[in-house]
Amino acid sequence: MQDIKSVIIGTGSYLPGTPVSNDKLAETVDTSHEWIVERTGIHQRYFAKKGQGTSDLATKAAQEALENANLQPNDIDLIIVATASPDNTFPACATRVQHKLGNTKGLAFDVAAVCAGYLLGLNVADSFLRLGKAKRALVIGAETISNLLDMEDRTTCVLFGDGAGAVVLEATEAKDNPQNRGLIGVDLESDGRYFDILHADGGPSSTGSVGKLRMTGQEVFKHAVTKLAKSAKTTLKKYKVSPDELDWLIPHQANARIIEGMRRKLDMDESKVIVTVAQHANTSAASIPLALHEAVKSGKVKEGDLILHEAIGGGLVWGSALLRF
C-alpha cells in the first residue's frame, strides 16, 4: 500500500449554457453588479438549461478527462460523483454517469459533502486505489445548484453557479513514478452543530420536496476563514511542507475575500493562487476540479507541481488536500 500513489492523469470540465451577468440578475432581484463584485468577486455564473441534469454536466467533464488521459470508458473501474444536486433522490448520480459514459464495469457511487465533496471524493478514491480495490478512478464534482436556489433571495441567488470538473486518478507504483507524483494526503473534518447555517430546507424524510438553499452568510464566512486556515496548516505540517514550497493554491471558489484571506494566512504570492470565482461563481463540489482543469489547460499547472486544495461547505464539512500533480 505504501508504494502506490493515486496520480492524476487527466482533467476535464464543463460549463453549461452561456454566462449570466450580475446585471442580468439585478433585473429580477434587488442587487447590483457593484455589490456582488465588492462582496464576492463574482462577475458571472453559468446556469444549466432546462432538461440539463447534473449527470449531463458530469458526463461531459468526465469525457474530457478520459480523452486527456487517453483512456476509454471501460478503462475505469471506479466512478465517484460529488454532488448536492443529483438528478434523482436515488439511485446515485454516478450510476447514471456510468451508463452515459458507456462504462460497464466497476463501481459508481456519490459522495455528499456539498462544497467539500470533491476533496472527500479524492480521499475515498485514493483509499480504493491504494488498497488495490480499483486501478483507475474518475472523481467528478458536478452541480446544477441553480435548482436549489431561491431566485428571490438576494443573499444567496447571486453567489452560486452550475458546472462540473473531473479528474482521472491512476494507481501508480513507485517504480513507475520517478517524480513521486500523486495525492499526498487529505485532511477532512465535520461539525454537525453548524448544520443550519448552510443547508437545503427540504429532503425526502423532512418535507418530501427538494428544498431551497439557505445560508447565514456571515457565519459561514467566519468559519471558512478560521477552519480552512487551520486545516491547511495541519496538512502542511503533517507532510512537512512549507507554504513557500507550494506551486499552487487551488481553493474552493466561494468568495474572492475568503480566498484572499487564505492567501495572506499562508503568505503566498498572488501569482500562485488560482482564482476562477469571478467567471464561475460558487459551483460547490465542482469548483476545485473546474479551477484545476482551467489551470492545466492554460498551461499554468504542470506535471510535478505541488498543489494545496482547501474547501468548506454545508455540514459544516471542511478540509484540505496536498498533491503533486
Binding mask 157-186 for ligand UT7 (x = CB under 6 A): -xx---------------------------
Piece of 33-41, 68-76, 170-178, 188-196 that binds ligand UT7 (CB under 6 A): 33-41
Backbone angles phi, psi at 260, to 5 degrees: -65, -40
Closest to ligand UT7 by CB, 130 vs 154, is 154
Piece of 1-9, 35-43, 68-76, 128-136 that binds ligand UT7 (CB under 6 A): 35-43
Report yes or no: 43 and 279 within 8 Å, Cβ to Cβ: yes
Closest to ligand UT7 by CB, 5 vs 212, is 212
Backbone angles phi, psi at 195, to 5 degrees: -45, -45
Which residues 201-260 are close enough to bind ligand UT7 by CB under 6 A? 217-218, 220-221, 224, 254-255, 258
- d(CA 234, CA 231) in angstroms, rounded, equals 5
Nearest distance, CB of residue 115 and ligand UT7, angstroms: 4
Q: Catalogue the active-site residues.
A: 115, 252, 282
- d(CA 226, CA 201) in angstroms, rounded, equals 26
- d(CA 11, CA 165) in angstroms, rounded, equals 8
Report yes or no: 113 and 186 within 8 Å, Cβ to Cβ: no
Nearest distance, CB of residue 91 and ligand UT7, angstroms: 26
Nearest distance, CB of residue 24 and ligand UT7, angstroms: 13
Q: What is the dihedral of CA 141, 316, 91, 123, to 10 degrees?
A: 50
Q: What is the DSSP letter of 94?
A: H
Query: Does residue 282 interact with ligand UT7 by CB under 6 A?
Result: yes
| Contacts of residue 39, Cβ cutoff 8 Å, sequence gap at least 6 | 255, 257
Among 19, 37, 39, 268, binds ligand UT7 (CB under 6 A): 39
Interacting residues with ligand UT7 (CB under 6 A): 31, 35-36, 39-40, 115, 154-155, 158-159, 217-218, 220-221, 224, 254-255, 258, 282, 312-313
